[in-house]
Amino acid sequence: MSTESSQSKACCTVPAIVSKGYEPKGEYITVDGMKTYATGPKTAKQGILIIYDIFGFFPQTLQGADILAHSDKENPYQVFMPDFFEGEPADISWYPPDNEEKGKLLGQFFQTKAAPPKTLPRVPKVVKELGESKGVEKWGVVGYCWGGKIVNLSSKEGTPFKAAAAVHPAMVAGDDAPGITIPFAMLPSKDENKEDVEKWQKGLKVPNVVEWFPDQVHGFMAARSDLENPKVKSEYERGYKLLLDFFHKHL
């Protein structure tokens, strides 16, 4: 098990990060009845499923999907991001929940739209359908924030994935760790609870990497990324290089 920082060894060059007005490279398809962002070479036999944060299809998250799909020339990936909230994501103005109204709205969203039991059964269905229709033979999975919890719960015995990553994950729980059966990377921000992450990592029985981003906010690699800030932009790029290196090694 490792907590060491690891620079990207994959044959990848992350393209220049676009701070504003990003134009996605992929297209939208329908998978298990859901609008799904699809990007990457259609001949690639390796796939990465992205489980977004509660804010859905944000430009920063779509750009991240394109980075994962197109940067590793040695191991190209088809990357897919389904709209599990079916057009009704959370409003980013609710976060951070610094007043009673925002807290109430977020709480209602988690109870109705984002309760894990609603999403978990769809994950293997999506992978099966995409494997059959797109020719993907090996899968990795990445989850941001809320998606990180879904990834933790989708990495147990019988998982369709070969490797998993959770980026600034929400609801980190030590109880999730012992059942995880595949290599796992976690990239926490300054807003994740250190004790929770340490307890989770101690419970793992699989190869793992935990790389902290101690000066970045929860959401810095997805919807809450302020890419006009040079430091955030640099850490966003570093995070995606770490993910690429991890999947390069374990897929």
Give the pLDDT confidence score for residue 246 in this predicted structure: 96
**Over 50: is that where the pLDDT of 148 sits?**
yes
- 32-66 pLDDT tens trace: 999 999 999 999 999 999 999 999 999 999 999 99
Structural domains in the chain (count): 1
CATH number at residue 119: 3.40.50.1820
**Over 60: is that where the pLDDT of 3 sits?**
no
- 77-91 pLDDT tens trace: 999 999 999 999 999
Give the pLDDT confidence score for residue 124 in this predicted structure: 98
Give the pLDDT confidence score for residue 4 in this predicted structure: 41
**Over 80: is that where the pLDDT of 24 sits?**
yes
DSSP 8-state symbol, 77: E
**Over 70: is that where the pLDDT of 182 sits?**
yes
Give the pLDDT confidence score for residue 12 in this predicted structure: 65
Give the pLDDT confidence score for residue 114 in this predicted structure: 94
Distances from the Cα of 9 to the Cαs of 53, 143, 168, 224, in angstroms? 27, 22, 22, 27
Report the DSSP beta bridge partners of residue 36: 29, 82
Give the pLDDT confidence score for residue 100 in this predicted structure: 95
- 209-219 pLDDT tens trace: 999 999 999 99
Residue among 133, 142, 147, 145 at smallest CA distance from 163: 142
Laid out side by side, the sheet with 27-31 consists of: 27-31, 34-39, 77-82, 46-51, 138-144, 163-167, 184-187, 208-210
* 198-205 mean pLDDT: 98
Give the pLDDT confidence score for residue 97 in this predicted structure: 87
Helix (H) or strand (E) holding 139: strand 138-144
Distance from chain centroid for Cα 156: 17
* 107-116 mean pLDDT: 92
Q: Maximum Cα–Cα distance for the chain, whole Å?
A: 49
Rounded to a whole number of angstroms, the distance between the first and last alpha carbons of the chain is: 17
pTM above 0.95, yes or no: no
Give the pLDDT confidence score for residue 115 in this predicted structure: 93
Q: Judge whether 9 lies within some domain.
A: no
Distances from the Cα of 66 to the Cαs of 15, 148, 197, 232, in angstroms? 10, 19, 28, 18
Give the pLDDT confidence score for residue 5 in this predicted structure: 39
> What does the alpha-carbon distance between residue 40 and residue 67 come to, in Å, rounded to a whole number?
9
Q: Judge whether 12 lies within some domain.
A: no
Q: Judge whether 16 lies within some domain.
A: no
* 153-180 mean pLDDT: 97
Please give the single-letter amino acid code of residue 180.
I
Q: Judge whether 114 lies within some domain.
A: yes
Q: Judge whether 22 lies within some domain.
A: no
Give the pLDDT confidence score for residue 74 in this predicted structure: 86
Sign of CA dihedral 137, 138, 144, 145: positive
Range of the domain at 45: 27-250
- 123-134 pLDDT tens trace: 999 999 999 999
The average confidence (pLDDT) of the chain is: 93
The bridge status of strand 138-144 relative to strand 46-51 is: parallel
Find out whether 218 and 149 touch, Cβ atoms under 8 Å: no
Q: Judge whether 161 lies within some domain.
A: yes
**Over 80: is that where the pLDDT of 2 sits?**
no
196 three-class SS: helix
Q: Judge whether 7 lies within some domain.
A: no
- Count of residues making up the chain: 251
**Over 90: is that where the pLDDT of 9 sits?**
no
Q: Judge whether 5 lies within some domain.
A: no
